[in-house]
Amino acid sequence: MPLFLREKKSLTVLIALIFFHLILISIQVPLGNEQSYFEKGFFSVFSPVQHGILSFFGSIGKLWKNYFYFRNVQTQNQRMREEMFLLRQENNLLRNALQKLKSEKEVEENISKIYQNILPAQVIGLDASNLYKSATINKGSLDGIKKNMVVLDKDGNLVGRIVGPITLKEARVQLITDSESGVGVFSQINKVMGVLSGDANGLCSFNYVLVTEQGISDGEEVVTSGYDGIYPPRIKIGKIILMEDTTSLHKEIKVEPYFDFRYLDRLAVITTDLIDIF
Amino acid sequence: MKDFIRVSVGVIIAFIIYTIFNKISASLLQLFNVFSLVVIYFAVEKDEIFGACLGGFCGLIHDSFSLGVFGVAGLAKTITGFLAGYISKKIDVLPVLRNFVFIFILISIEFILWALFYSFIFSQSITGGRKLIYFQPLSTALVGSVLFLLLRRIKKESPLS
């Protein structure tokens, strides 16, 4: 084929591919936060592969440890860690619940309900574009995962919520550090209310606090308010590390989340609507 | 058929490395663009159309593991794949140093394109506290040029080639 014809063909293919991608990007606009079928398809195909690869290497690692090192100690330690993990979650959630629940009977009823609804999950991947946006976990619809379920770290601090796509054994978690996220919050001491969203740099912004507001200070803890209808109240999020008055109506407040990206391998998904309990 | 298998194996290996890097440390993901290396390698070996198609496919895999707009990395990698195939037909990019510069320029172009699309869509900086990402073209080019050299030598010595 002559060179100019070949180049023309190549250029046509390139333009067609660019056009295809632009259409792909455009069709997401009316969908909002909902994923397109194309994206869901890709995620459904490749996330189990990712899960499988990690399980494979994880199994090899476990095999090595179990056979050549402290086999019994390892198993026992693992079991105790699992138990400690669940107890820590339960303890944290009950602590919050106790602040509101009045009768002892009510507390008893809810203890079992909470314990049964903590689902430990492992992070199998971080966001490919921005680490602070999302993470993929190894639990999916077969484990009872649904959209908007609350996700906590090993110490019971808020990490985010489940967003789509959800496959049979994988799901995506939107982190509170994502700039598109929004959490109804208040400051622990004076209950100053606002909306928390991520800044995509690993920190969060405490928005909509008027510059005239005096009842909020540096180092103060920030907890969920429960008014957003997704996150239950009084879950710890982080502490205020920076507060500045601006020329606009609202203060600029930065919050450092308690959850640590370095230890974000193990999470707890709350599979019940905690707002009912609290 | 043989080519299809080779490309599939290449993409699978890239995906395995990507997954392992993701698990070991997030910094490794910022430093090495494994999918782009596969795209450049096969684009140079085949042609620009193949490079663009493979780039689009690998970019969409990358996009599917990111919360946000699906297709941004796909678009950037499509252009990278096309350029890799097109330039390699005009210039000999096989000598090691030239190969290093070639990969460095391509990864830089992809990075700039992706950053532009990303900033345009999300109205925010791409770095997000991740300064290591600026070293991605350099580190990927270093690893890529050595890797491609080794692959070419293996291929040359292989009785199947």
Domains and CATH numbers, chain B: 2-157 (1.10.1760)
Chain B residues near residue A261 by CB distance under 8 angstroms = 26
pLDDT, residue B106, reads: 93
Amino acid in position A95: R
CA distance B93 to chain A (A): 19
Q: A93 and A146 share a domain?
A: yes
User: What are the φ and ψ backbone dihedral angles of A54, each rounded to 5 degrees?
Assistant: -65, -40
pLDDT score recorded for residue B66: 79
ipTM of the complex: 0.82
What backbone phi and psi angles, to 5 degrees, belong to B93? -105, 10
Asked if B64's CB is within 8 angstroms of A46's CB, the reply is yes
A134 within domain boundaries: yes
SS3 A238: strand
Q: Kindly report the CATH number assigned to the domain that includes residue A249.
A: 2.40.10.350
**What mean pLDDT comes out for the span B100-104?**
93
Interface residue B113 vs chain A (CB under 8 A) = no
Q: What is the pLDDT of residue A221?
A: 87
Work out the pLDDT band at A219, boundaries 50, 70, 90. confident
- Say yes or no for a CB contact (<8 Å) between A22 and B16: no
A55 at B interface, C-beta within 8 A: no
pLDDT at A61 over 70: yes
Containing structural domain, residue A235:
183-257
How far does Cα B68 stand from its chain's mean position? Answer: 20
| Location of structure tokens 């194309």 | A38
Specify the pTM: 0.74
Question: Residue B130 — pLDDT band, cuts 50, 70, 90?
Answer: low
User: What pLDDT was estimated at residue B138?
Assistant: 92
Number of structural domains chain A divides into: 2
Residue in chain B closest to A130 (alpha carbons) equals: B128
Q: Are A271 and A246 part of one and the same domain? A: no
Residues A200, A99 share a domain: no
Q: Write out residues 152-171 of A within 8 Å (CB-CB) of B.
A: 163
The rounded distance, in Å, linking the Cα atoms of B8 and B11 is 5
